[in-house]
Structure 1
Amino acid sequence: MNSTTPDIDYLDFGIGILLSQIADGAMLAGHVDNEPVLLARRGEEIFAVGSVCTHYGAPLADGLLVGDTVRCPWHHACFSLRTGEVLRAPALTSIPCFDVERKDGRIRVRARRKPASRRSLPAHSGLPDSIVIVGGGAAGLAAAETFRREGYDGRLTMLSADTSAPCDRPNLSKGYLTGTASDDSNPLRTAEFYQDQDIELKLGARVGSIDTGARHVELTDGTRYVYDALLLATGAEPVRLGTGDERPHVRYLRTLADAHALNADAVASRRAVVIGASFIGLEVAASLRARGVDVHVVAPGAIPMQRILGNDLGQHIRTLHEHHGVVFHLGTTAASIGVGGVTLKNGATLAADFVVAGIGVRPTLTLAKQAGLELDRGVTVDPYLETSVPGIFAAGDIARWPDRRTGENIRVEHWVVAERQGQTAARNMLGRRERFDCVPFFWTEQYDFSLAYVGHAEGWDKAEIDGDLTARDCTVTYRRGGQKLAQAFVHRDLAGLRAELEFERAMVRNE
């Protein structure tokens, strides 16, 4: 995985190719008038669409054809081959679609089609007149976009406690912190987008209460917003250290403002202590090392990420960081944080110009509890993401939903899951009855190492490695009682897509 746009292939689809050059079920990358184009064949049907994923620029030719769709190899976005429409997050923008001419055994790609016009929902009494979304993160924005894409033209309000518009949060600890991603690249949408889509985005809007009887939310400043349907997407907040974390040089990374402060530290300072060997903590460590900052990582476990990834993969990640100069202090925690350093419980003292806490997050449930929603270490939702109160849905880090693969209720703190839940919740709030059956997926990038994780395994008893971890070419399968729950893929993008599809098909078979 990387964020570079692939080179345009030499095949000129404007001139055309022989039909025999593309086999059934195959894809070819080429161009028309210097625009990258993907040609795909399904039986006798030939499709031509843009060949670059609109999320991070992955080459779709390296992805997977599933029916009349193509899935991105890096982060599993999905696009329609018939229309170019984006069907699944994390991509939010569709790809272009082209006319195809077949004549005398040759295929030629012709004019780019006009983008499909926005759907128009048939008017009926069941549609809500006013929808309110509480939350300005992944789930909230994905839901807002889906409402408009599905043709909803009623009043649509997003209330975000953040002072910044929805941003690309996964990149805050990666390219944004290394300095390779600009400020302009981080907002998910421009201010003009919200205006054009008639989405009323209120920033710095803290909701104090929800009146489920009167169907309105009230901000802490007393402003009220009436709703016919409500989506709670309040996300999660960092777990606080509780030991000197009020000091100004102690950082958390959740918001764009947090990222700005951490970026400034990375530029001006030379020594950092990262408390926590979570994905966020280790991504921050890698990014700070790319800036030349000396980094020490403190964590209570014996091996980083051991509970999630297992001994072998966790140890490999530790060795990777040590190779890049990171010093680990494992089996201990911070006892106190002073002006110039951190004292550990084992008695060691680490010098630090700034400290980054990455010890996990907790779902933000205050509003859900106040509204009387059923809770279970999150907001309990049904298969359609509706809460115990009719008309109120929940999505993202707060939602605990019934997983059809395992029969368990699960809550997952993944960006892609949050976006897809927002999309599904929006369609259901418009009257659909669409189960949320997304296979959880997340990715991490640390230095030149990338890992994709498909599925969900809160507890597992066996981790099997297929391939060569030292060569960064392997799959790790996590099982419990013999059941395959999840797989991690090291530099095996296509295998990750196939595993996702396998899990999806298994859910259908088990129905």
Structure 2
Amino acid sequence: MNGDEKITQELCKESEMKDGEMREFEIEGRSILLVKSNGTFSAVGNKCSHYGAPLSKGFLAGDRVRCPWHGACFNVKTGDIEEYPGLDSLPCYKVTVENGSVHLVTSKKALENVKRVKAMCRHNASNRSTVAIIGAGPAALVCAETLRQEGYSGKIVMVTRENHLPYDRPKLSKAMNAKAEDIYLRPKEFYSQHDIEVRMGKEAVSVNTDEARVKFRDGSFLQYSQLLIATGSRPRELQCPGSTLKNVFSLRSPEDATAVSEEAGGKNVVIMGSSFIGMEVAAFLSDKANSVSVIGKSSVPFQAVLGDQIGALAMKLLEEHGVNFYMRTEAREIHGENGQVKEVLLRNGTVLLLMLCLLE
């Protein structure tokens, strides 16, 4: 079959779907979401462009479907992403209704695209304005892309103190041994293709709003017309004695994740914190470290955000994989030997022998 050859396939009878209903269909191995909203049928890709969740399991309100996993929202008429997380829109397909039957009209080539990037303009030399973006996380990247999608043709300069292009930071605790390039949000070619300049390894130290200028630690400057500061958050720092020992880690960058993954093998690991990051790290290291212990202030993990029942279930699942929990307590101090962690003393008097400590 030629890739551009038209495919017309009957999906269902018009009378079989109620208004406000969604159904999943498979066409040529691709999952399609058919929606009936206000009496009109529309079809888009069924997989969320963020992490691939089935949108058929999500929530439909009018012309918008919300992802069941992380809440990304898409317009079912256009496939456009309207609320994040995620960057890409969904492929959108033609739907016809003939003789009481609903048909999808597409091509094999169109079905191959599971994501869609909105049309973007490029830099025009006659436009002398510059948008400076300090930070290179998803918020910074979405800003840069939205500017190009909305027709901004001036310069866009994104600056980060890290030596990486924008990457998916939440994946650091899910796949700690992944290469940085494997979690980049966009490939290197994307930025040159759309004239988005990314300056890596440059740390901003001050902003002079009167002169519209950013100063960097290396002494260089960047003149801007508009400025967005999107530097994100930082991990909480442990305040107890011993927190500066060599094998006490925080998790923020690909380098941190790699260091923890390499150091944890066959060792006793203690994780300070029992929320999402801590639990994901515990799950990842459970079959790699000699032992994994989690210290949490609450009674169960996730207690503040998901409640006691879900927290207790998550705790039980990890305990079945050998993870130990020390709840309703915290670290009083960390003892070391030759600059390395040796043990952690908890406020409830428990002493844990360890070789690596990770702060959530």
TM-score range, shorter chain: 0.7 to 0.9
**SS of match in other structure, 1:238:** coil
Q: Tell me which residue corresponds to 2:3.
A: none
Using the size of structure 1 for normalisation, the TM-score is 0.61
CA radius of gyration, larger in: 2
**Further displaced range: 270-279 or 46-55:** 270-279
Contact 1:253 1:259 (8 Å CA) reproduced: yes
Query: Distance in 1 between the 2:137 and 2:290 partners?
Result: 30
The amino acid of 2:342's aligned partner reads: G
**Further displaced range: 155-164 or 275-284:** 275-284
Q: Tell me which residue corresponds to 2:13.
A: 18
Unmatched tracts of structure 2, length 5 or more: 1-6
For residues 245-272 of structure 1, the C-alpha deviation after alignment (integer angstroms, 9 at most, x for no partner) is 3333211111111111112123x33310
**1:329 is aligned to 2:330:** no
Alpha-carbon offset, residue 182 of structure 1: 6.6
Unmatched tracts of structure 1, length 5 or more: 1-11, 359-511
Equivalent in 212, 230, 251 of residue 215 of structure 1: 212
**SS of match in other structure, 1:163:** coil
Query: Distance in 1 between the 2:27 and 2:296 partners?
Result: 52
Contact 1:148 1:197 (8 Å CA) reproduced: yes
Alpha-carbon offset, residue 312 of structure 1: 5.0
Using the size of structure 2 for normalisation, the TM-score is 0.84
Alpha-carbon offset, residue 309 of structure 1: 4.8
Query: Distance in 1 between the 2:161 and 2:153 partners?
Result: 24
Q: Tell me which residue corresponds to 1:231.
A: 228
Query: Distance in 1 between the 2:291 and 2:21 partners?
Result: 48
Aligned residues: CA RMSD: 2.8
**1:104 is aligned to 2:104:** no
**1:344 is aligned to 2:345:** yes
Query: Distance in 1 between the 2:358 and 2:343 partners?
Result: 11
Alpha-carbon offset, residue 327 of structure 1: 2.1
**1:205 is aligned to 2:202:** yes
Pairs within 5 Å for 1:234-383 = 234-242=231-239, 243-266=241-264, 268-301=265-298, 303-311=300-308, 313-330=310-327, 331-338=329-336, 339-346=340-347, 347-358=349-360
Q: Tell me which residue corresponds to 1:81.
A: 76
For residues 364-414 of structure 1, the C-alpha deviation after alignment (integer angstroms, 9 at most, x for no partner) is xxxxxxxxxxxxxxxxxxxxxxxxxxxxxxxxxxxxxxxxxxxxxxxxxxx
Alpha-carbon offset, residue 293 of structure 1: 4.1
Q: 1:164 to 1:337 in 2, by over 3 A?
A: farther
Query: Distance in 1 between the 2:230 and 2:186 partners?
Result: 18
Contact 1:128 1:229 (8 Å CA) reproduced: no
Contact 1:217 1:225 (8 Å CA) reproduced: yes
The amino acid of 2:321's aligned partner reads: H
Query: Distance in 2 between the 1:334 and 1:320 partners?
Result: 28
Query: Distance in 1 between the 2:303 and 2:11 partners?
Result: 52
For residues 253-300 of structure 1, the C-alpha deviation after alignment (integer angstroms, 9 at most, x for no partner) is 11111111112123x333101123333223222221143541122344
Pairs within 5 Å for 1:140-151 = 140-151=140-151
The amino acid of 1:326's aligned partner reads: V
The amino acid of 1:353's aligned partner reads: M
**SS of match in other structure, 2:281:** helix
The amino acid of 1:278's aligned partner reads: S
Query: Distance in 1 between the 2:213 and 2:287 partners?
Result: 47
Query: Distance in 2 between the 1:93 and 1:256 partners?
Result: 23
